[in-house]
Amino acid sequence: MNEFLLLPFFLIIIAGSLYAGLARDPYVKIIAISITGGAIMPLIIMRGYLDVASALAVIIPLSTVFLLQLFKKGVV
Amino acid sequence: MSGDLFGLIPWTIESPFSSSYVVSPSGDVEIIVWICIAIAVYSAFRVIVEPDVMRKLPFLNVFSFSISGIIALLIPQPLGIIAAVAYFVGSTFESNAIASTWAGGVED
Amino acid sequence: MTMLFLQIAFAALCCWFLFITVDMICGLPRNGGVCGATAIAKAIEKGGGNINGGTMMGNIVSSPDASAGTLLAACGVYCFGIPGGLIATILVYIGNRICYDPGYAGTTGCFIATFMVYGGTLIGIPAECFIAGMVIAILTIQGISHRNSSKLLGWIWRLFR
């Protein structure tokens, strides 16, 4: 596997995680974690774990939807 | 695993990503993977830089298009379709949930 | 190498026209749809764009539509040929229902795009060029300038009406 394909994904993961930590608005934090999760997916695929990647692709958005149910008007 | 840095400099890297299940894309497909990676990095940069929350979501959509394309290009087997579609539908569902929660939820 | 870029450019143009046409026929820029799409449309209009173009961009974000259908059809044909494209059509239909979208824009786009990509492989444009072409097409619509592309989409919607 060509390892130079991996480097941009590491960049995106670091940038997304730093942005998630430094942002103020909670919606922006959720978007930044979504970017981080999206950049992790090809790294799992490159190792050959397609089923783990498919399961994660379903679990991460479902968890976010349940988290968003806490964000009603006036709670945050 | 050894490889050349674009064929110019001999460079040897041992890494855990060399697996016998997945072959590295070669030739024309590798150029296309690099195009999709460039678009992913650009759109991630635009998400971070954009000031308004709701206007970040179209850039996030471009990002998930490119990651879906990369997933499908890395695995030229039928299970690759399922992984790409699962990631894309999950990401779209999440963007939909973020946008409608920000707007105040579904008014019944 | 230049041959590859010409193939990608041609594939990008084909994908662009296909998904804009199918989305306009299915009435995506019409007002009053999904809650999230109207939120994005209002934000784009506040930035100086067109409300109809903004509604279409909001609908592209909220639910798999013809653009997503074209991309996943190209992925399906790349991985598995025409049966792969048809499997992708079924999965896009399920995805549409998961995202609470009662329309058929994604399914129609995926179905037509399967045959378009297969026809492209017969001409001599490999299926991976359609994947790159579709990503470039969605980048031009949603990834460069929301104001200008919503004005362009609003103008095309006025032509269609």
Q: What is the pLDDT of residues C75-125, one digit of tens each?
A: 999 999 999 999 999 999 999 988 888 888 899 999 999 999 999 999 999
Q: Within a domain: residue B56?
A: yes
CB atoms B68 and C72 under 8 Å = yes
Q: Which of B35, A58, B92, B42 is nearest to C67 (CA)?
A: B92
pLDDT score at B11: 61
Q: Which residue has the higher pLDDT, C59 or A3?
A: C59
Q: Within a domain: residue B1?
A: no
B contacts of C4 (beta carbons < 8 Å) = 28, 31
C82 interface with B at CB cutoff 8 Å: no
Q: Within a domain: residue B10?
A: no
Q: Which residue has the higher pLDDT, B27 or C147?
A: C147
Helix (H) or strand (E) holding B68: helix B56-74
| pLDDT band (50, 70, 90) for residue B1 | very low
Q: How far apart are CA C82 and CA C87, in angstroms?
A: 9
The whole-chain average pLDDT of chain C stands at 92
Task: Name the minimum distance, in Å, from the CA of B33 to any CA of chain A.
Answer: 8
**Which chain A residue has its CA at the smallest distance from B80's CA?**
A50
Task: Provide the 3-class DSSP secondary structure of residue A70.
Answer: coil
Task: Name the minimum distance, in Å, from the CA of C159 to any CA of chain B.
Answer: 24
B in contact with A (at least 3 C-beta pairs within 8 A): yes
How many Cα atoms within 13 Å fall on the side-chain side of residue B70? 28
Out of B43, B55, B96, the one facing C62 most closely (by C-beta) is B96
Identify whether the C-beta of residue C138 lies closer than 8 Å to the C-beta of residue B65. Answer: yes
Q: What are phi and psi of B66, to 5 degrees?
A: -70, -35
Q: What is the mean pLDDT of residues B8-27?
A: 69
pLDDT tens for each residue of A22-72: 999 999 999 999 999 999 999 999 888 999 999 999 999 999 999 998 876
Q: Count structural domains, chain B.
A: 1
Give the DSSP letter string of B14-56. --TT--SS-PPP-THHHHHHHHHHHHHHHHHHHHHH--SSTTH
**Which chain A residue has its CA at the smallest distance from B15's CA?**
A3
pLDDT tens for each residue of C121-144: 999 999 999 999 999 999 999 999
**Residue reference for tokens 């362009």:** C152
Kindly report the number of other CB atoms within 10 A of residue C47's CB atom: 15
Q: How far apart are CA B15 and CA A74, in angstroms?
A: 49
B contacts of C80 (beta carbons < 8 Å) = 77-78, 81
Q: Within a domain: residue B20?
A: no
- Give, rounded to a whole angstrom, the gap between the first and last alpha carbons of chain C: 42
- In DSSP terms, B3 is beta-bridged to B11
pLDDT tens for each residue of C1-38: 889 999 999 999 999 999 999 999 988 888 767 788 99
Looking at chain C, the whole-number percentage of residues with pLDDT higher than 90 is 80
With 0-12 / 13-18 / 19 or more C-beta atoms within 10 angstroms meaning exposed / middle / buried, residue B68 is buried
Residue B108 has pLDDT above 80, yes or no: no
Q: Which residues have a Cβ under 8 Å from the Cβ of B26 and sit 6 or more positions away?
A: none
Task: Name the minimum distance, in Å, from the CA of A30 to any CA of chain B.
Answer: 8
| pLDDT band (50, 70, 90) for residue B46 | very high
Q: Which of C75, C96, C98, C140 to mutate to test the interface with B (most CBs of B within 10 A)?
A: C75
**Which chain B residue has its CA at the smallest distance from A14's CA?**
B44
CB atoms B56 and A58 under 8 Å = no
Task: Name the minimum distance, in Å, from the CA of C158 to any CA of chain B.
Answer: 23
Residue B22 has pLDDT above 80, yes or no: no
Task: Name the minimum distance, in Å, from the CA of B28 to any CA of chain A.
Answer: 14
Q: Which amino acid, residue B89?
A: V
A20 interface with B at CB cutoff 8 Å: no
